Amino acid sequence: MDRQSKMTMNNAKNNRAAWLRGGDAECDAPPKPVKRPRRLVLLGAPGSGKGTQAELLVRNLGGCHLSTGDIFRTASCSEDKVASPAVREALDAMAKGELVRDETVLDMVRERAACLRCGGGVLLDGFPRTVAQADALADFLIQQNLRLDAVINFELPIDTIVRRLGGRRTCSDCRAVFHTESHPPREEGVCDHCGGALLQRDDDRPEAVLVRMAAYERETAPLIEYYRRRGLLLNVSADGSPETVCERAVRLLEADGAV
């Protein structure tokens, strides 16, 4: 059995419960330890396909996709509303339209230190977002006797991002996502799965995308330079099919010695 098949089997049932719920939660099927678990940070603008690439990299390399956004979504949708102090503080700030403090986000990650020590490796997505968070993460990893192997930055031209996001349509009922060019529904404007109406989100309109990209550039440019200076940054073109982009990323990791 090849590496990809093994890793797919190892991770097929991993529900990341420890990461999503924190506290005493345990994953039903944590990744099996490997000789050299990889710890990666993923960067990429909205529309770059970073989420899809995270899934593909997990299938190819093993480990867990640890997304801070998933923690927020899980806590927000939980019926029992059980959340750690740091997550509650972050949700309260978001509900008020305020920025979540760097220290709050770091506390949320600290509560999940066991996940960062996962013997199968991790892919951090959504954290760090600022240089201050990157500094704090570096200090915390040193305390845990860990280190980052690489930071993958998925790059895509702004006009391609506008086209990708501008063509996205979301079902008003089941939230399934389609695309007018790359993944159109069988019937225009109608969800294949439940028959609900397909709508364009306000933040996917071209003018909104440009505003989001400007904010991303302001926020992320210093972080990209931060990791470049430390010799950890690997820029990967996100143009092409998801499989092609993933192959590029894996080849760069192999050439860099991170695989």
Q: What is the pLDDT of residues 124-169, one digit of tens each?
A: 998 998 899 999 999 999 999 999 999 999 999 989 999 888 999 9
**Residue bearing the bigger pLDDT, 28 or 231:** 231
Catalytic one of 21, 50, 112, 164: 50
Note if 13 is an active site residue: no
Q: CA 197, CA 93: separation in Å to the nearest integer?
A: 32
Which of 113, 108, 104 shows the shortest CA–CA distance to 84? 108
pLDDT for res 175:
83
Active site residue 201: yes
Over residues 160-205, the pLDDT tens digits come to: 999 888 999 999 988 888 999 888 999 999 999 999 999 998 988 9
Share of the chain above pLDDT 70, in %: 90
Whether 212 is catalytic: yes
Beta-sheet pairing, 150-155 with 177-179: unpaired
Side-chain-side CA neighbours of residue 244 (13 Å): 5
* CA atoms of 89 and 101, how far apart (whole Å): 9
The one catalytic residue among 147, 175, 201, 251: 201
Residue 224 scores a pLDDT above 80: yes
Report, in angstroms and rounded to the nearest whole number, the Rg of the chain calculated over CA atoms. 19
Q: Looking at the chain, which runs of residues are DSSP E strands?
A: 39-44, 64-67, 122-125, 150-155, 168-171, 177-179, 198-199, 233-237
By CB atoms closer than 10 A (0-12, 13-18, 19+), residue 23 is: exposed
Domains of the chain: 3-156+206-256 (3.40.50.300), 157-204 (no CATH)
Catalytic residue among 117, 205, 212, 228: 212
CB 72 within 8 A of CB 20: no
Q: For the whole prediction, is pTM greater than 0.95?
A: no
Known catalytic residue: 39? no
What distance in Å separates the CA atoms of residue 239 and residue 243, rounded to the nearest whole number?
11
Share of the chain above pLDDT 90, in %: 42
- What is the tens place of the pLDDT at every residue in 6-20? 344 334 445 678 887
Catalytic residue among 101, 129, 163, 205: 129
Catalytic-residue membership of 248: no
Of the candidates 16, 39, 168, 169, the residue annotated as catalytic is 168
